[in-house]
Structure 1
Amino acid sequence: MSALIQTDRLHLRLIDPDHDAADMLALLNEPGFIRNIADRGVRTLAQARDYTAERVLGSYTLNGFGMYAIIRRSDGAWLGNAGLVKRPELPGPDIGYALMSQYEGQGYAFEAARGVQHYARDRLGYPELYGIVAPHNARSAALLQKLGMEPRGRLRLPPPVDEEVLVFATPGALALG
Structure 2
Amino acid sequence: MSSTALPPVPGPTQRLVFRHPHDEHAAFFLSLLNDPLFVRFTGDRGIRDLAGARGYIAKLAAHRQRWGYGLDVIVLRATDEPIGACGFVRRAELDAPDIGFGFLAAHHRQGYGFEAAAATMHHGRTTLALDLILGITQPDNTASIRLLEKLGLRLTESRTLPGLARPQFVYSTDPTRLSPNR
Please tell me the TM-score bracket, short chain as reference: over 0.9
Alignment partner of 1:175 is 2:178:
yes
Aligned partner (choices 2, 5, 9) of residue 11 of structure 2: 5
Aligned to 1:14: 20
Name stretches of at least 5 consecutive residues in structure 1 with no aligned partner: none
- Which consecutive segments of 4 or more residues in structure 1 shift more than 6 A? none
More strand by proportion, 1 or 2?
Answer: 1
C-alpha RMSD over aligned residues: 1.4
Deviation of the 1:7 alpha carbon? 1.2
TM-score normalised by the chain length of structure 1: 0.93
Q: Deviations over 1:4-55 (max 9, x none)?
A: 4311111111111x1110100000000010001000010011111011112x
Give the AA of the match of 2:174: P
Give the total of aligned pairs: 173
Give the AA of the match of 2:115: E
Question: Where do residues 81-100 of structure 1 align in structure 2 (5 Å cutoff)?
Answer: 81-100=85-104
Does the CA contact (< 8 Å) of 2:155 and 2:175 recur in 1? no
- Distance change (3 Å), C-alpha of 1:95 and 1:173: farther
Q: What is the CA–CA distance in structure 1 between the aligned matches of 2:145 and 2:10, rounded to whole Å? A: 25
Deviation of the 1:3 alpha carbon? 5.6
Q: What is the CA–CA distance in structure 2 between the aligned matches of 1:36 and 1:79, rounded to whole Å? A: 17
Q: What is the CA–CA distance in structure 2 between the aligned matches of 1:63 and 1:49, rounded to whole Å? A: 20
Give the AA of the match of 1:175: L
Deviation of the 1:118 alpha carbon? 0.4
Deviation of the 1:173 alpha carbon? 6.0
Percent identity, aligned pairs only, is: 36
Q: What is the CA–CA distance in structure 2 between the aligned matches of 1:171 and 1:157, rounded to whole Å? A: 20
Q: Deviations over 1:75-120 (max 9, x none)?
A: 1111110000001121110001000000000000011000110010
Alignment partner of 1:53 is 2:58:
yes
Aligned to 1:77: 81
Q: What is the CA–CA distance in structure 2 between the aligned matches of 1:84 and 1:3, rounded to whole Å? A: 11
Does the CA contact (< 8 Å) of 2:63 and 2:70 recur in 1? yes
Aligned to 2:122: 118
Aligned to 1:23: 28
Does the CA contact (< 8 Å) of 2:154 and 2:175 recur in 1? no
TM-score normalised by the chain length of structure 2: 0.90
Q: What is the CA–CA distance in structure 1 between the aligned matches of 2:168 and 2:94, rounded to whole Å? A: 12
Question: Where do residues 32-71 of structure 1 align in structure 2 (5 Å cutoff)?
Answer: 32-54=37-59, 56-71=60-75
Give the AA of the match of 1:49: R
Aligned to 1:101: 105
